[in-house]
Chain A
Amino acid sequence: MSTVKTKARGSHLFLPLSVLAILIVINLIKGADYFSMTIINGALYGNVPNILFGASELVILAIGMTLVTASSRGQDISVGVAAAITSAVFVQVLQGAGDITWWTIAASFLASCAAGMLIGAFNGSLVAVFKVQPMVATLILFTAGRSIAFMIDGKLSPVLANDLTSQLGGVIPGVPIQTPIILTVVFIALFAALLKTTNLRLYAESVGINEKAARLNGIDPTRIKFLTYMILGVCSAVAGFIAVTKAGRHDSVNLLKFVEMDAILAVAIGGNALSGGKFSVTGSIIGAYTIEVLSRTLLRLEIGTETIKAFKAVFIIILMVVASPVVREYASKALRRVRAGADDCAVAEADTAASGPDAPAKMEV
């Protein structure tokens, strides 16, 4: 059984990594200078830094989304809207503070984090206390959120015109890497530390796998779900902060538009089940970068911007078909027929195949 287990653990990263590899090969065929980087004004630029730069918000949102998916068996579709609201709060507090220093930026960022936690608490209370399906619960903010962001702004797209915020969204003098990349890395490190030092992963997974069993074991599912939504709220605040400093102005209508779909997609590509349970944050991060690489590859192949969405869709469909359980079973059956001699392998796969018919039998007991 141990061989089967290690196989299953490795397989969730196999899909996103192989897709990433295929995309990189396509890019290398298109032009061998894909990995080349140049230094302009003391900072690194090139394809790889651009991908890391462009995907930073998506990565952060995908991390939070993974946690929410694992614990509540559903997805939050209001993350982009939440980021729009929190960044509106950020801009308003910053502009209300008068002169802009690192301290006022930090204070405004904390205010936006508080707004994010408030949004998370709103969604979390609906999901955890009222037992509403996550997608339905977050549909409320999805409907109303951009209008709320606009009302916080008070006018069309307030501008952040100063050196400090443009350094946060671009490059700090003397540091060779663009700041959003550094912020993303810091965020990932903090999140990894959170997962390593606390029981959050265990609790979230057990609530997602079986809520009743988790409660019988002394875990409060309501509190865990609520907590994951709060964390996602903070994630969207960070993503909104990065997005607004990148853009230099707050556009409540277009800021991080449709990012919620990409974030859910990143979670799925990363090999996580959208129906909750065990999760892999690494997979989601790779999935997020894969989506960014895909978009940029399509641009590089000189496909018109209007057609990109269609290509992306075809790509997603192919990816999901390859990863679907039915196709995998067919593939494994075919594999088994090819190497009919290898007995142990066949037994292992027969085990996994038999788990389906087993389920009804368990129900009778």
Chain B
Amino acid sequence: MSNWGEHSDRLLFIKQEWDKAEEAIKLAEQVCGEVVTPSVKELRYAGRRLVDAIGKIGAGAPPSEIDGLLHDAYFDCHRARHDAIDAATAKIAKVLDIAATKIGYEVILKAYPSFSLLFGQLNLVRSRIAVSRGDRENRERVYASIEAVDFPALAKEYDNFKAAEPIMKGLAKTERKRRVLNYVIGIAGLLATIFSLLK
């Protein structure tokens, strides 16, 4: 038989981890709303485990069964938290890569001169995530520091990048049109030369 008292410590840990996961999701949402969907799903799975555990406590199920469900709920919250940061960081890395490939550094730097600062902040967060993966004992501490300091700074700088994006896109469009015009003029010139030689 189980009662609420004997699970109160674990329930408190789940509450704390759930709060942290929600904070991480809110931070990651600032980068891109859609990338947090797997994290939200993880929280949903945690909620399911909690509901099952509450049902079993009410039904007086053995403590080991309830402990298993609560452990899973805690782990799901933990995963939601890490996934939110990982997804947002991956999204920023991808966007910067796409911008560099499709728009080009010259145009980016004209509209957003702090590009290297943003890139440096991104690399810092990514390297800390990599460190946390190899250091299981300190993973919690490393992630807490990423969430509290490094990631908010990165998200803020990424906001500046997003604010400059319409200017970048405008410049890139002009540049592409200019390039097409140059090709057309070049081809027309070539054809005119060929025709004049054939006359």
A associates with B: no
Residues of chain B having any CB pair with chain A under 8 Å: none
